[in-house]
Amino acid sequence: MSATNGHTSEGSRLKDPSLFNTKIVVGSRRLDSHSNKTFDVVYPGDGKTVIATIPECNAQDVNDAVASCRETFATFSQTTARQRSDMLRKLNDLTLANIDDLATLIVRENGKTRAEAVAEVKYASSFLAWFANMAEIGAQGETIAAANPNMRIHTMRQPIGVVACLLPWNLPLAMATRKIGPALAAGCTCIVKPAGETPLSTLAFAELVKRAGYPDGCVNVVTTLDNVAEVGKAICEHKHVRKVSLTGSTRVGKLIASQSAGTLKKLSMELGGNSPVIVMNDANLDKAIEGVLMAKLRTSGQTCVAANRILVQNGIHDKFLAALKEKIATYKQGDGEDDSVKLGPLITARAVEKCRAHVEDALSHGATLAYGPSPPPTPSSGGFFYPPTILTNLTSSMLISSEETFGPVVAIRRFETEEEALEIANDSDVGLGAYLFTTDLRIAARMTAKIETGMVGVNTGMLSACESPFGGVKESGFGREGSKWGMEEYQIIKAVTTDIS
Ligand SMILES: NC(=O)c1ccc[n+]([C@@H]2O[C@H](COP(=O)([O-])OP(=O)(O)OC[C@H]3O[C@@H](n4cnc5c(N)ncnc54)[C@H](O)[C@@H]3O)[C@@H](O)[C@H]2O)c1
Ligand SMILES: N[C@@H](CC=O)C(=O)O
């Protein structure tokens, strides 16, 4: 397929082809980059079809987008919380009205299955609905009892200013609304940079923002794949960007933090994880299998809270392994649009190579291949697929123990005691999600308190919900998204002291 802007054959997959946008968004304008360069977005399901050609932005595009955000902030920040609540509700209605098209764009740019893409749009919508409700509640200030009887003190919650939202490719739309939703609810304006692999759902969403009646400049979008270092630096060093919210890797999180230091920006860092799953002897086996597969295979293993180290107590280990093998064999891998498929491709050939390297490293350090092809396959020309694989006898010396695999590789390690499981689980520089399977409330109470992560699932493989605070500890970052705390990340608290004498 030739790479021309517009890609009519891709656009014609949509019920509303006008949602297929391939230009950046700066105020009312839909533009090419100042560089006049472009990059290709490739369908991961075959690894070669160019589904869109998108502007490769530079620092000048960032400056234009920030200037537009700043101009609009002057008026948008003065809207009432109720007005912002109403606008977000309208945006949510439009998102749900276009669920099929948004899901199609996610399937095509990310490769995940249609069922997963539809679930992602619903998850994305839940943040808009949640923050439509929070807009007024989260705008409330407080009255402070002053020590000086002649003083009255009250606080105001105000929008922090222009916000940069840096998005990952694994949940491109949900991570967009988890940031843009609270930012708009608070009265901020946003410069959004989607991952280069998945810009299409963000660009379509920006069109819905316009249709919802938001003033131009509330949500601007810049795109880049190969020039991300320049674009990222320009955003971080821009004095009029007051906040950066990143969902991405710990490596990039550290870079953004150092580049933002010169202007002392407020930061939210939703970074990588290395989630342990602890399956105790008394666990309900069906629930544990279901939970592990959910936590491991959602988006083909490419989530920050993906189960990476499965710790199984000796007494249940063999039964668990046998049941897991039986169940994982039912996961058909293939094209996301095929209804019988449960596992889509990975995002890039590099992601396939990482899975292979982790499996090979584990095998060379004594792991056993309990399920999956031998030898571990290399990236092929037929799409970015890595087959579901189970390894046993995981040890701390293997790469998979210290790094996210980000693919459908289940790595199992035996343990004997609760203390041993906690020690292995906490032996990590990161701490985002963890999972525990037990039917004993006393074990659950003891262990959830001692696990060093921001989130723990007990007898469930799902941690994500708009009403629950999402975020990590250690090098998984800081700040919380969603929940009643999510809007605070986009606000300042101003204290007003009045002399009434
Ligand atoms: N904690 C969370 O909520 C969460 C959610 C999803 C993904 N993640 C993590 O994200 C990682 C996978 O996503 P990824 O590969 O897209 O991560 P990544 O860090 O490579 O990219 C994340 C974003 O940062 C951008 N980026 C890359 N280099 C940059 C730079 N120099 N300046 C500015 N921006 C830059 C990318 O273009 C992308 O938009 C995993 O580590 C995963 O665990 C975390
Ligand atoms: N998983 C997130 C994001 C991590 O990839 C979520 O579930 O919200």
Element holding 250 (H helix, E strand): helix 250-260
Q: Give the Å distance between the CA of 151 and the centre of ligand 1.
A: 47
* Buried b or exposed e, range 290-306, using 16+ CB within 10 angstroms: bbbbebbbbbbbbbbbb
51: tokens are 């589904």
- What is this structure's pTM? 0.96
**What is the reported pLDDT for 2?**
37
**What is the reported pLDDT for 396?**
97
The residues of the chain that CATH labels 3.40.309.10 are 275-458
Q: What angle do CA 386, 387, 390 make, to 5 degrees?
A: 115
User: Which atom of ligand 1 sits closest to the CA of residue 347?
Assistant: 15
- E-strand ranges in 374-462 read 389-392, 409-415, 430-431, 433-437, 455-458
**What is the reported pLDDT for 378?**
81
| Residue 270 falls in the annotated catalytic set | yes
User: Which atom of ligand 2 sits closest to the CA of residue 470?
Assistant: 8
**What is the reported pLDDT for 376?**
86
**What is the reported pLDDT for 379?**
75
Q: What is the mean pLDDT of each run of 10 residues along the chain (501 residues)?
A: 54 97 98 98 96 98 99 98 98 98 98 98 98 98 98 98 98 98 98 98 98 98 98 98 98 98 98 98 98 97 98 98 98 94 96 97 98 87 93 97 97 98 98 98 98 98 98 98 98 98 97
Q: What angle do CA 359, 417, 297 make, to 5 degrees?
A: 35
**What is the reported pLDDT for 292?**
98
CATH code given to domain 275-458: 3.40.309.10
Length of the chain in terms of residues written: 501
Q: Report CA torsion sign: 479, 450, 484, 91.
A: positive
Q: Are 128 and 99 in contact (CB under 8 A)?
A: no
**What is the reported pLDDT for 1?**
34
Fold (topology level) of 13-271+477-495 = Aldehyde Dehydrogenase; Chain A, domain 1 (3.40.605)
**What is the reported pLDDT for 380?**
74
Q: Give the Å distance between the CA of 274 and the centre of ligand 1.
A: 15
* Alpha carbon nearest to ligand 2 atom 7, residue: 464
CA distances, 227 to each of 58, 157, 224, 230, 476 (Å): 7, 36, 6, 6, 25
User: Which atom of ligand 1 sits closest to the CA of residue 306?
Assistant: 43
**What is the reported pLDDT for 377?**
85
497: tokens are 């002291």
**390: Cβ below 6 Å to ligand 2?**
no
Q: Give the Å distance between the CA of 151 and the centre of ligand 2.
A: 46
The residues of the chain that CATH labels 3.40.605.10 are 13-271+477-495
Instruction: Write down the ipTM of this complex.
Output: 0.93
CA distances, 153 to each of 136, 157, 160, 498 (Å): 21, 14, 21, 6
